[in-house]
Structure 1
Amino acid sequence: MKIALINMPFGSLYRPSIGISLLQASLEKNGFVCDTYYLNLLFGSMVTTDLYNYFVEQKNTPEEIFPRDWIFSQSLYGKDNFADYEKYINQSNFFRSDAKRNEFYERLMTIRDHVEPFLERALADHHWEQYDIIGFTSVFEQNIASLSMAKRLKEKWANQFIIFGGANCEGEMGKALLESFPFIDAVCSGEGDLSFKHFVQQMAGYKDPSLCHSQGIILQSKYTDEPVMTGSENSPPVHDMDGLPYPNYDDYFTHFEKYGYCGTNPSPRILFESSRGCWWGAKSHCRFCGLNGANLNYRSKSADRALEELLYLRERYQKYTKQASAVDNIIDMKYFRDFLPKLRDMQLDLDMFYETKANLRKEQVQLFRDANFHHIQPGIESLITSVLKLMGKGISMMQNIQLLKWTKEYGVFPYWNFLYGFPSENEEEYQKVVDVIQALTHLDPPGICSPIRLDRFSPYFNKASEFGIVNIRPMFAYHLVYQEQSLETLMKLAYHFEFDYASSQNPASYTQGLIQEIDSWKKHHSQSEFFSVDLGKHLVLVDLRPVRVDNHMLVLTGAEKAVFQFCDNIHSYKAILEHLERNQVPHTKQEVTDMLNRFVQQKLMLTESETYLSLAVPLGNYSPKKQGLERLLEITRGFDSKDLVG
Structure 2
Amino acid sequence: MPRSAGSPHRGVPAVPGSFESEMATDPLKPVALVSMPTLSARFPSFQLALLKPTLESEGLPVQTFSLFMYFGTQVGWRLNETLSEVYPCMLGEWIWTKAAFGDFAAGDGYFETYRDDLETICEKAGCSLDDLRRLRETEAPAFIDFCMTSIDWSRFGVIGFSVVFQQMLASLALAKALKRKYPHIPVMMGGATFEDDIADEIMKGCPEVDYVHCGDADETLAPAIRRLYAGQSMAGIPGMMWRNGSQVAYAGRAPNLADMNKTPVPDFDEYFYARKEGGYHDYGQAEEVLLPIETARGCWWGVKNHCTFCGLNRAGMEFRSKHVENVIQQLDELSRRYGILDFNAIDNIIAPEYVDQLFQRLGEANTDLRIHYEVRPSLTRAQLKQMRKGGLFSIQPGVESFSTHILKLMRKHTTGVRNLELIKWSTYYGINNLYNILLRFPGETREDYRAQCEVMSKIHHFQAPWAVAKARADRGSPMYAEPETQSVTRLVPSPCYDYLFPKDRFDLNRVSYYFEHEMGNTLEDHEYGEIFEAVEEWQERWRREPRPYLRYRKTWATILIEDGRNGSPRTTAYSDDYASLYEYCADARSLREISAKFEDAGWVGPALEELVEKDLIVHLDQRYLSLALPENPYF
Q: Same fold (TM over 0.5)?
A: yes
Residue by residue, what CA displacement relative to the aligned partner does 1:39-91 show, whole Å, maximum 9, x if unpaired? 101112211211111222xx5xx72211110011122122152411112124x
Report the Cα distance in structure 1 between the residues aligned to 2:524 and 2:366, rounded to whole angstroms. Answer: 47
Instruction: Map residues 149-298 of structure 1 onto 2, 5 A cutoff.
Output: 149-204=174-229, 206-208=230-232, 210=233, 213-222=236-245, 227-228=247-248, 231-262=250-281, 264=283, 265-298=286-319
Matched residues, number: 600
Are 1:65 and 2:89 counterparts? yes
Contact persistence 1:411–1:622 (CA under 8 A) = no
Counterpart position of 1:425: 444
Counterpart position of 2:357: 338
Report the Cα distance in structure 1 between the residues aligned to 2:117 and 2:343, rounded to whole angstroms. Answer: 37
Report the Cα distance in structure 1 between the residues aligned to 2:477 and 2:128, rounded to whole angstroms. Answer: 31
Counterpart position of 1:114: 139
**Counterparts in 2 of 1:179 and 1:100: CA distance versus 1, 3 Å:** same
1:392 aligned partner, one-letter code: R
Are 1:594 and 2:606 counterparts? yes
Stretch deviating more after TM superposition (505-514 or 552-561): 505-514
User: Which of residues 306, 324, 328 is equivalent to 1:303?
Assistant: 324
Contact persistence 2:296–2:347 (CA under 8 A) = yes
Q: 1:322, CA displacement in angstroms?
A: 2.9
Counterpart position of 1:512: 529
Equivalent position SS for 1:288: coil
Report the Cα distance in structure 2 between the residues aligned to 1:235 and 1:441, rounded to whole angstroms. Answer: 47
1:30 aligned partner, one-letter code: E
Report the Cα distance in structure 2 between the residues aligned to 1:7 and 1:358, rounded to whole angstroms. Answer: 33
User: Which of residues 393, 400, 415 is equivalent to 1:374?
Assistant: 393
**Counterparts in 2 of 1:94 and 1:571: CA distance versus 1, 3 Å:** farther
Report the Cα distance in structure 1 between the residues aligned to 2:287 and 2:130, rounded to whole angstroms. Answer: 24
Instruction: Map residues 391-406 of structure 1 onto 2, 5 A cutoff.
Output: 391-406=410-425
Q: 1:485, CA displacement in angstroms?
A: 4.4
Instruction: Map residues 497-508 of structure 1 onto 2, 5 A cutoff.
Output: 497-503=515-521, 505-508=522-525
Report the Cα distance in structure 1 between the residues aligned to 2:126 and 2:333, rounded to whole angstroms. Answer: 47
Equivalent position SS for 2:280: coil
Counterpart position of 1:27: 55
Stretch deviating more after TM superposition (106-115 or 244-253): 106-115
What is the RMSD computed on CA atoms of the aligned residues?
A: 2.2
Report the Cα distance in structure 2 between the residues aligned to 1:512 and 1:288, rounded to whole angstroms. Answer: 21
Q: TM-score, normalised by structure 1?
A: 0.89
Residue by residue, what CA displacement relative to the aligned partner does 1:522-563 show, whole Å, maximum 9, x if unpaired? 1112420011111122101111112xx656111111222111
User: Which of residues 486, 496, 502 is equivalent to 2:514?
Assistant: 496
Q: TM-score, normalised by structure 2?
A: 0.90
Report the Cα distance in structure 2 between the residues aligned to 1:4 and 1:243, rounded to whole angstroms. Answer: 23
User: Which of residues 572, 577, 599 is equivalent to 1:559?
Assistant: 577
Equivalent position SS for 1:65: coil
2:159 aligned partner, one-letter code: I
Contact persistence 1:368–1:412 (CA under 8 A) = no
**Counterparts in 2 of 1:261 and 1:615: CA distance versus 1, 3 Å:** same
Equivalent position SS for 2:312: coil
Report the Cα distance in structure 2 between the residues aligned to 1:248 and 1:97, rounded to whole angstroms. Answer: 33
Counterpart position of 2:13: none
Equivalent position SS for 1:454: coil
Counterpart position of 2:167: 142
Counterpart position of 1:129: 154
**Counterparts in 2 of 1:97 and 1:514: CA distance versus 1, 3 Å:** farther
**Counterparts in 2 of 1:169 and 1:292: CA distance versus 1, 3 Å:** same
Q: 1:409, CA displacement in angstroms?
A: 1.1
Counterpart position of 1:533: 553
Counterpart position of 1:38: 66
Report the Cα distance in structure 2 between the residues aligned to 1:98 and 1:243, rounded to whole angstroms. Answer: 45
Q: Which runs of 5+ in 1 are unaligned?
A: 582-586, 624-646
Counterpart position of 2:79: 51
2:311 aligned partner, one-letter code: G
2:101 aligned partner, one-letter code: Y
Report the Cα distance in structure 2 between the residues aligned to 1:446 and 1:485, rounded to whole angstroms. Answer: 41
Equivalent position SS for 1:531: strand
Residue by residue, what CA displacement relative to the aligned partner does 1:490-514 show, whole Å, maximum 9, x if unpaired? 11111111111144x3452211111
Q: 1:137, CA displacement in angstroms?
A: 0.8
Contact persistence 2:379–2:422 (CA under 8 A) = yes
**Counterparts in 2 of 1:70 and 1:565: CA distance versus 1, 3 Å:** same
Equivalent position SS for 1:597: helix
Counterpart position of 2:10: none
Counterpart position of 1:614: 626
2:291 aligned partner, one-letter code: I
**Counterparts in 2 of 1:203 and 1:100: CA distance versus 1, 3 Å:** closer
Contact persistence 2:79–2:126 (CA under 8 A) = no
Q: 1:106, CA displacement in angstroms?
A: 4.6
Q: 1:132, CA displacement in angstroms?
A: 1.1
Q: 1:598, CA displacement in angstroms?
A: 2.1
Are 1:572 and 2:590 counterparts? yes
Report the Cα distance in structure 1 between the residues aligned to 2:122 and 2:143, rounded to whole angstroms. Answer: 30
Counterpart position of 1:640: none
Stretch deviating more after TM superposition (437-446 or 104-113): 104-113
Report the Cα distance in structure 1 between the residues aligned to 2:120 and 2:41, rounded to whole angstroms. Answer: 28
Q: Which runs of 5+ in 2 are unaligned?
A: 1-27
Counterpart position of 1:627: none
Counterpart position of 2:466: 447
Equivalent position SS for 1:455: coil
1:71 aligned partner, one-letter code: I
Report the Cα distance in structure 2 between the residues aligned to 1:163 and 1:339, rounded to whole angstroms. Answer: 37
Equivalent position SS for 1:81: coil
Counterpart position of 1:522: 539
Report the Cα distance in structure 1 between the residues aligned to 2:578 and 2:98, rounded to whole angstroms. Answer: 67
Equivalent position SS for 1:334: helix
**Counterparts in 2 of 1:543 and 1:20: CA distance versus 1, 3 Å:** same
**Counterparts in 2 of 1:111 and 1:552: CA distance versus 1, 3 Å:** farther
Are 1:543 and 2:563 counterparts? yes
Report the Cα distance in structure 1 between the residues aligned to 2:257 and 2:77, rounded to whole angstroms. Answer: 36
**Counterparts in 2 of 1:94 and 1:420: CA distance versus 1, 3 Å:** farther
**Counterparts in 2 of 1:295 and 1:550: CA distance versus 1, 3 Å:** same
Q: 1:346, CA displacement in angstroms?
A: 2.3
Report the Cα distance in structure 2 between the residues aligned to 1:107 and 1:361, rounded to whole angstroms. Answer: 49
Contact persistence 1:423–1:468 (CA under 8 A) = yes
Contact persistence 2:296–2:320 (CA under 8 A) = yes
Counterpart position of 2:22: none
**Counterparts in 2 of 1:258 and 1:407: CA distance versus 1, 3 Å:** same
2:241 aligned partner, one-letter code: I
2:440 aligned partner, one-letter code: G
Residue by residue, what CA displacement relative to the aligned partner does 1:554-594 show, whole Å, maximum 9, x if unpaired? 1111222111110110110011111123xxxxx733x3222
Counterpart position of 1:14: 42
**Counterparts in 2 of 1:143 and 1:485: CA distance versus 1, 3 Å:** farther
Counterpart position of 1:639: none
Report the Cα distance in structure 2 between the residues aligned to 1:203 and 1:575, rounded to whole angstroms. Answer: 67
Q: 1:622, CA displacement in angstroms?
A: 8.0
Equivalent position SS for 2:165: coil
**Counterparts in 2 of 1:509 and 1:104: CA distance versus 1, 3 Å:** farther
**Counterparts in 2 of 1:221 and 1:45: CA distance versus 1, 3 Å:** same
1:493 aligned partner, one-letter code: V
